[in-house]
Chain A
Amino acid sequence: MNLEKVVFGFFIILACTLNFGFFIGDIERIDLHHPGELFAAVAVNLVALVLKFGDRTHIGATHLATGLAACLQLLAAALVWTWDAYVAQNAMTPATMSTIVSLSGGALLANLISVTLLIGETLRASR
C-alpha cells in the first residue's frame, strides 16, 4: 500500500463526494443546499488541485485539467453566492440558488471525470 496513493485518492474522491452532496437535491430548493458544504467542496477541491500539481505524465496533465475546471466552477458558484448575499444584499431566491447549484453541477462533472481517471489508472496498473 502506498500512502501517497491513499492521500491522492482520498482527496479526489472527497472532492467529488462533497461536490455531489452539495449538488444533490431539487435545484430550486434553498434549504437543500447548505453553504457549509459548498465551502468544504471548494476547500477540498483546492487541496486536490495542489495534489495534482507536478505530475508530468499525460494522465497527470488530464487530472490537472479536470481539477482546474472543477475549481473554476466551484469558485464561480461561491462568488455568485457571495455577491448576491453580501454585495447585492438580496435574500436568497430560487433563481440564484439554481445558478449556484448548476455551476456546482458542472464542477461535479469534472470531478466525476477525475474519479474516472483515477479508477482507470488504478485498474491499468493493478498489481
Chain B
Amino acid sequence: MGDVLFLVLRRLRVPLITLLVVYAVSVAGLVAIPGVDGDGRPWRMGYFHALYVMSYTATTIGFGEIPYPFTDAQRLWVTVAIYLSVIGWAYTLGSVFALSQDPTFRAAASRSLFLRRVARLREPYCVICGYGRSGTEIARALDDLRVRLVIVESDPTRVASIAVQPFSVAPLVLVADARRPEVLRDAGIAKAECRAVLAMTGDDEANQTIAIGTRVLDPNTQVIARVVDPVMHANLAEFGGVHVINPFHTFALNVGLDFAAPAVLQLEEWLTCAPGADRPEPLRLPRGHWVLAGYGRFGRPLAAALGASGQSWQAFDPHFVPPDEAEDRVHARGGTEDGLRAAGIERAVGVIAGTDSDTVNLAVVKMARRANPAAAVIVRRNKAYNQALIEAAEPTLTFVQSDLMLHEVLQSLTTPLLERFLELARRDGGVLAREACDRLDAAFGARVPGVWTFDCDPAQPGIRQALSEGGTPLRVGELLLDPRDPAVRLAAVPLMLSRAAPSGRPTDTGRPQRWLPPGSRARAVEAPGAGVLDRAGTGLPESGRGASIALPPESTVLAPGDRVLFAGAPGVEALQRRFLLDPSPIEFVRTGVEPARGWLFRRLAARARPRT
C-alpha cells in the first residue's frame, strides 16, 4: 500500500504543484483587484469568496458572479484565471490517467492489492507455483475441495486465463517469477494458514529453486515439487522435507510393480480409487519382449523398470545419441516403421508409444497394431485436447502427466497417512499388501472403501477421559464398534497406526493435518484423472516421525497423539467421529449401557454401582 501511495505522490508532484500555484495566483488576484458592491461602493473580495469563485470557475461549473456583479477589471482577471485553471486541471487529470495506465504503476498496484489480500487470508490455503497443465488440474480439484488458492505464474496470458475459469472462490493471483524468494514470501508461504506449496512449473530447475526456497523460508510448510530430472530429484531428496513427484519415474515404478508385486499395485489402486466404485482389477501386463518408441525422460525409467522386472526390451528413438549404456538396445536409424521392426515389434508382447508428440504416438500405435495385433499398448498423451484421438486408439493404458500429478498431489494433501501406508506396503514387497488385500476383501468385497484418519487428539471431549492416565485404555477394536449398537461391527479396516514422534508432536509438520473437510478425498479422487496406475511418490524421510504400525491388531492400546488410518464403507467415518464429540459412545460400546449425562444422574449411578 505504502509503495503505491508513494509512487502516486512522486509521479503527481508536478501537476499538483501546478494546480496549487494556479489557484494561489488566481485567488490572490481576485482579492487584490478592487470591486464594487451592489450599491456601487468600493468593495474588496475576501479570500473565502475568491476561493469559492475560483473553485467553481476552475472546475467549469460556473455559478456566475457573486456576491456582487464583477467589475471589468475583475472579469479580465477571471478570464485569465479560467484559462490558467483549465490548463492546470487538464494537465493534472491527464497525468492521473496516464499514471493509471502505466504498466509499472499497474504492476505495483496489483502487487500491493495481492499482498493485502494474502495478508487477510484467515483460512487454510495452498500456494501453486506454475499454472500449466498440472497446475490447472490441481487448482481446479483443490477448488472443488473448497481450498483457498494462491497462484503464482510468470506468464501473463496464462494468468489472464484464470479470470475466465469457473472457480468457486477466485484464487489470488500474482504475475511473478516464483523462483525469487521475495515472491514466495509475498505469496504468503510463511503464514501459518499456508498448508502447502506446490511447485508445478514445467521447469525442473525452477521447481527445485521454489522447493528449496520454501524450505528455507518456512520449514513447517509442506512442499510438493514436480521434478523429472533424476539428478535434481536426488538433490531434493538429499535436501529433505520436500515431497518430490516425478511423474515419469512414478509411472515406470507402477509398471515395474505390476510385474514384480501385483498385490502392492492392486492395494494402491484399491485404496486410491473413488470410493464406492468397483474394485479395480490388476492390470497384469504381459511378460516378454517390449518395444519402446521414444527413449527419453519417459522411456528411460520405463525401460529400467522393464529390465528390473526381467522383461526384455528394445527401443526406437531417432534422436538417440549413441554414447550410452543402452546403446545396443536402442535403434536410431531409419523411419518409425523400420525402427519398430528393428526393435522386434513382431515378437513383442507390448508396445509403449512414449514420444512427446501425440501424432507420432498414434502412428506408432497404428503401425504396431498392423505388425502385431495382439500386443498390449501403452500410450503417452501429451496434449489435453488430443484426449479423443488417444481414446479412439483404445490403448491398454494411457499415461497423462497432469492426471498423475493431480492424483499424487491430492493423495499427499488429503490423506498423508495413506501415502505412508502404501510406502510401507511397497517396501515390504508383497506380504503386507496381500494381507491388507485379504482384509479389505473380507470387509468390502469388490467395492472401493473410503479412507480417512482418526486423530487421537486428547483435546477432543469424547476421548479425553480414555486417553488420560488412569482411564480405561482405549483400544483400536473399540473404534470398530457401532456407537449406536455395540453388537454391530463397523465396516472398517484399521490400515495403519501412526504413533507420535517422541517430541510429542502429533504430525510431521507440527500443524493440524485435518484442514481439508471430512470426506474430501472421496470427492477429490472423483476429480478427472483418478488414474488407474498411480502410486505414491517418495521423498519424505522416515526420520523425525514416530513409529508406524501397519495393520494394527484390535487389542492395540491407543496413546494421545496417535493417528489411525482407516478404510471403511461410506458413512462409517461419520459414525466413528461420534467417539470424538462426546464421551458417552465410548462408554456405551464398552459396557452396553448408555451412561448418565447429567450431574444428578451421574451421582445416582455412582451410588447405585457399589450396591449392585
Number of interface residues of B (CB under 8 A): 20
B48 near A40 (CB under 8 angstroms)? Answer: no
Query: A39–B11 Cα gap in the complex (Å)?
Result: 27
Kindly supply a per-residue 1/0 record for chain A positions 15-46, scoring 1 wherever the CB is within 8 Å of any chain B CB and 0 otherwise.
00000000000000000000110011001101
Q: Which residues of B contact A56 (CB under 8 A)?
A: 6
A39 near B31 (CB under 8 angstroms)? Answer: yes
Kindly identify, within residues 70 to 92 of chain A, every residue whose CB is under 8 Å from any CB belonging to chain B: 78, 82, 85-86
* Minimum distance in angstroms from B14 CB to a CB of chain A: 9
B20 near A54 (CB under 8 angstroms)? Answer: no
Contact size range, A: 10 to 19
Is A51 located at the chain interface by the 8 A CB criterion? Answer: yes
Is B34 located at the chain interface by the 8 A CB criterion? Answer: no
Q: Which residues of A contact B24 (CB under 8 A)?
A: 39-40, 43-44, 47
Is A53 located at the chain interface by the 8 A CB criterion? Answer: yes
Query: A39–B54 Cα gap in the complex (Å)?
Result: 14
Is A50 located at the chain interface by the 8 A CB criterion? Answer: yes
B10 near A54 (CB under 8 angstroms)? Answer: yes
Q: Is the interface of A mostly helix, strand, loop or mixed?
A: helix
B28 near A40 (CB under 8 angstroms)? Answer: yes
Kindly identify, within residues 4 to 24 of chain B, every residue whose CB is under 8 Å from any CB belonging to chain A: 6-7, 9-13, 16-17, 20-21, 23-24
Query: A47–B21 Cα gap in the complex (Å)?
Result: 8
Q: Is the interface of B mostly helix, strand, loop or mixed?
A: helix
Across the interface, A51 reaches (CB within 8 A) one of B12, B17, B46, B49, namely B17
Across the interface, A85 reaches (CB within 8 A) one of B7, B20, B48, namely B48
Q: Which residues of A contact B10 (CB under 8 A)?
A: 53-54
B9 near A39 (CB under 8 angstroms)? Answer: no
B46 near A86 (CB under 8 angstroms)? Answer: yes
Kindly supply a per-residue 1/0 record for chain B positions 16-58, scoring 1 wherever the CB is within 8 Å of any chain A CB and 0 otherwise.
1100110110011001000000000000001111000000000
Query: A51–B23 Cα gap in the complex (Å)?
Result: 17
Query: A123–B235 Cα gap in the complex (Å)?
Result: 55
Q: Which residues of B contact A54 (CB under 8 A)?
A: 6-7, 9-11, 13
B47 near A82 (CB under 8 angstroms)? Answer: yes
Known: A54-B6, A54-B10. A39 touches B47 (CB 8 A): yes
Kindly supply a per-residue 1/0 record for chain B positions 453-484, scoring 1 wherever the CB is within 8 Å of any chain A CB and 0 otherwise.
00000000000000000000000000000000
A–B pairs, 22, beta carbons within 8 Å: A35-B46, A36-B31, A36-B47, A39-B28, A43-B20, A47-B17, A47-B24, A50-B13, A50-B16, A50-B17, A50-B20, A51-B13, A53-B6, A53-B9, A53-B10, A53-B16, A54-B6, A54-B9, A82-B48, A85-B46, A86-B46, A86-B49
Shortest 6 CB-CB distances between A and B: which pairs? A54-B10, A53-B9, A43-B24, A82-B48, A50-B16, A54-B9
A interface residues with partner B (beta carbon < 8 Å): 35-36, 39-40, 43-44, 46-47, 50-51, 53-54, 56, 78, 82, 85-86
